[in-house]
Chain A
Amino acid sequence: MKFLRFVLIVIMLFPFSNVYAEENDKRNKITKNLRCLICQGQSVYDSDSEFANSLKIVVDKKLQEGLSEDQIYEYFKTKYGEWILYDPGLNKNTYILWLLPILIFLIGGAIIYKSFIVKK
């Protein structure tokens, strides 16, 4: 009987701890992508300021409410602006940031192609 109870407890515990770990992973991933606005240059995950700690609680709450990662980012964006995200989306303010590396890569590739490959 005792053994049965033990097995039952293990079975009960196992899936829950799994879910918890998953949620923790997600929370860490989200807080790593949020900028701590008090201690700029640090992510919320790295910071231990009052502001960052509160933000972590809010992320937990939102995850419990069943919001997805993107919805949480959207929520913080409406509260604090695009700046709070470390991974800015593609919009009219950031398109140079996104397209410049590709452009440089293409131009560089063209120069190399012209001067080395065509010459041969």
Chain B
Amino acid sequence: MKNKILLFSVITIFGIIFFIFYKGLDDSKIYTPDVNIKKEIPLFNTKEFFSREDVKSSSIFELDKVYLLNIWSSWCVPCRQEHPLLMNLNLENKLNIIGMNYKDNLKNAENFLKELGNPYKEILIDLDGTIAIEWGAYGVPESFLIYNNKIIKKYIGPLNQEFVDEINLFVK
């Protein structure tokens, strides 16, 4: 009787452990962060891309307007890919696209814009990547949809048509 209980409990314990490990096999180990965050936008000071003048973040983002902050760089290949989508988005007048030039050579960045066009209403410089950290960004490219000084949604990686449709829907 005692042996039976022991055997039974050993089998059940191993069964449970096997089940947990087996389930764990399918789980993705890659962490995907929460993209629907309702967070206040951070405050920061930086320089404007063309004039190199100091700007405060509070003077850029106004209430009751929709902004898209796009982190980009001339050395980043996916940025090239998403650029035409940004150019199209710019045709919608209600959306203000703000660019953030991330860890870039400014000369190269200017050439990038000359070649592919400039969809940005304003471009800010983030030379050492610390402002991107303030925003909770993971790298380039990354875009933040902002309304009333709050981040509505963030898009990690290059924008695609699905994201663009979502942004257009929100702007309307």
Contact = CB atoms under 8 A, between A and B. Distances in A.
Contacts of A113: none
Contacts of A63: none
B134 A37 contact: no
Contact of B139 (A40, A51, A61): A51
B129 A81 contact: no
Contacts, number: 40
B33 A54 contact: no
A24 interface: no
Interface string A36-78: 0110100000000111011101100100000000000000000
A95 interface: no
B138 A38 contact: yes
A79 interface: yes
Nearest to A61: B130
Count class of interface residues, chain A: 10 to 19
Contact of B33 (A58, A61, A83): A83
Count class of interface residues, chain B: 10 to 19
Main SS at interface, chain A: helix
A34 B134 CA distance: 16
B31 interface: yes
Nearest to B156: A37
Contacts of A105: none
Interface of A: 37-38, 40, 49-51, 53-55, 57-58, 61, 79-81, 83
| 9 nearest A-B residue pairs (beta carbon) | A54-B129, A79-B136, A58-B133, A58-B130, A51-B139, A83-B31, A57-B128, A37-B138, A54-B133
